[in-house]
C-alpha cells in the first residue's frame, strides 16, 4: 500500500465505530492542549479533514489543512496539497502543527519532522498522535498481520518518537496515551476498561499524544573587539645613535 493510499485509508477508518471511538478519546486530549497555544497559523496534517471538532479548541483563527491527495477546500479552511516531506511554508511561519497518524504511513518520517521544525516559528509546537505498539492493539498479532488500516502502517514507539524529536531540536512536553480497550468493533462493551487503564497501565493506550516545542538556542553575544594594542608590548623607541669622543691621555 502506497503512502498516500495508507493515509487515505486511515482517514476513512475514522468513520468506523472503532475509529470514531478512538478519535473521540484523542480529541479530549487535544482539547486540553490547544487552548494553551497562541499564534497566527495552525496546520493539521492527517485525521478526518471534514471534522470541525479537531481544531475547535484552538485559539488560532487561521487554520490550514495539509492534504497529500486533495486540494479541495474543507470547512472554510485553506487546504494545501503537497508532499509531506516538502511542505510549502516559509521557514518560521507556522505556530503549531497537529499530526494525526501521519508518520506511521510515511516512507521517511524523520524528513517530515525536519520539515515541520523548519516551518515552525521559534517556540512553536507540534502535537503528534501515533499508534502505540506497546498496547493491546499493538500486541494483538492477528490484527498486526493484516494490510487494512490502521494496522498497515509502520507503528513507531513513543520512545523512538521522542528521541527523534530531541535530536532534531525539539523539547518534549506533555505525553499521554488514550483508549485502553482492545480493538473491538463494539467499543461500548468494554468501556469500564478506560478507568482501569488510566490507573494501572496509563502508558499502554492504543494511541499516544506527544507535545513538543521548537527550541532555538539563543545567539551568544559577540564581545566587541578590543584594541589589540593591549595584548602586545609597545615597542620602545630605539635609542638614537650618539657620537662619543674618546680622548686618550698619552702619558709621557
Mean pLDDT over residues 26-31, rounded?
A: 94
Q: In the prediction, which pLDDT does 231 show? A: 39
Spatial contact of 209 and 174, defined as CB atoms under 8 Å apart = yes
Query: If pLDDT is split at 50, 70 and 90, which confidence band does 95 have?
Result: very high
Q: In the prediction, which pLDDT does 164 show? A: 96
CA distances in angstroms from 125 to 36, 156, 201, 214, listed in the order given: 10, 20, 27, 6
Given a cut of 80, is residue 250 above it in pLDDT? no
> Strand (E) positions, 56-169?
62-66, 78-80, 94-100, 120-131
E strand or H helix at 5: helix 3-13
User: Which SS3 state, helix, strand or coil, does residue 143 take?
Assistant: helix
Using CA atoms in the order 214, 83, 90, 169, what is the torsion angle rounded to 10 degrees? 20
d(CA 26, CA 32): 10
Average per-residue pLDDT in the chain?
A: 83
Q: pLDDT above 70 covers what percent of the chain?
A: 79
HSE-CB of 71 using CA atoms within 13 angstroms: 4
pLDDT in tens, 106-133: 889 999 999 999 999 999 999 999 999 9
CATH 3.40.50.150 fits 3-214, yes or no: yes
Mean pLDDT over residues 219-231, rounded?
A: 49
Q: Which of 11-25, 121-135, 214-228 has the lowest mean pLDDT?
A: 214-228
CA distances in angstroms from 133 to 20, 156, 177, listed in the order given: 20, 7, 11
Q: In the prediction, which pLDDT does 52 show? A: 73
Given a cut of 50, is residue 186 above it in pLDDT? yes
Sorted by sequence, the CB contacts under 8 Å of residue 65 that are 6+ apart come out as: 43, 44, 49, 74, 77, 78, 79, 80
pLDDT in tens, 126-169: 999 999 999 988 887 555 656 777 887 789 999 999 999 999 99
Residue 170 φ then ψ, to 5°: -90, 150
Q: In the prediction, which pLDDT does 228 show? A: 40
Amino acid at each position: 500500500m502506497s503512502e498516500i493510499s495508507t493515509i487515505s485509508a486511515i482517514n476513512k477508518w475514522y468513520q468506523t465505530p472503532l475509529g470514531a471511538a478512538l478519535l473521540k478519546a484523542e480529541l479530549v486530549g487535544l482539547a486540553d492542549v490547544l487552548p494553551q497555544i497562541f499564534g497566527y497559523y495552525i496546520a493539521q496534517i492527517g485525521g478526518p479533514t471534514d471534522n470541525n471538532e479537531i481544531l475547535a479548541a484552538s485559539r488560532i483563527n487561521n487554520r490550514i489543512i495539509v492534504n497529500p491527495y486533495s486540494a479541495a477546500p474543507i470547512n472554510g479552511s485553506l487546504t494545501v496539497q503537497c508532499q509531506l516531506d516538502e511542505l510549502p511554508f516559509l521557514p518560521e511561519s507556522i505556530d503549531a502543527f497537529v499530526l494525526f497518524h501521519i508518520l506511521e504511513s510515511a516512507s521517511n518520517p524523520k524528513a517530515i519532522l525536519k520539515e515541520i521544525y523548519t516551518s515552525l516559528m521559534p517556540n512553536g509546537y507540534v502535537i503528534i498522535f501515533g499508534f502505540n505498539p506497546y498496547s493491546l492493539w499493538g500486541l494483538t498479532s492477528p490484527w498486526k498481520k493484516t494490510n487494512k488500516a490502521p494496522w498497515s502502517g509502520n507503528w513507531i514507539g513513543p520512545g523512538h518518537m521522542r528521541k527523534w524529536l530531541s535530536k532534531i531540536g525539539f523539547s518534549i512536553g506533555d505525553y499521554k496515551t488514550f483508549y485502553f480497550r482492545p480493538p473491538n468493533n463494539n467499543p461500548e462493551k468494554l468501556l469500564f476498561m478506560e478507568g482501569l487503564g488510566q490507573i494501572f497501565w496509563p502508558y499502554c493506550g492504543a494511541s499516544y499524544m506527544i507535545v513538543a516545542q521548537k527550541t532555538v538556542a539563543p545567539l551568544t553575544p559577540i564581545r566587541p573587539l578590543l584594541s589589540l594594542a593591549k595584548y602586545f608590548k609597545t615597542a620602545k623607541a630605539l635609542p638614537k645613535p650618539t657620537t662619543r669622543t674618546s680622548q686618550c691621555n698619552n702619558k709621557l
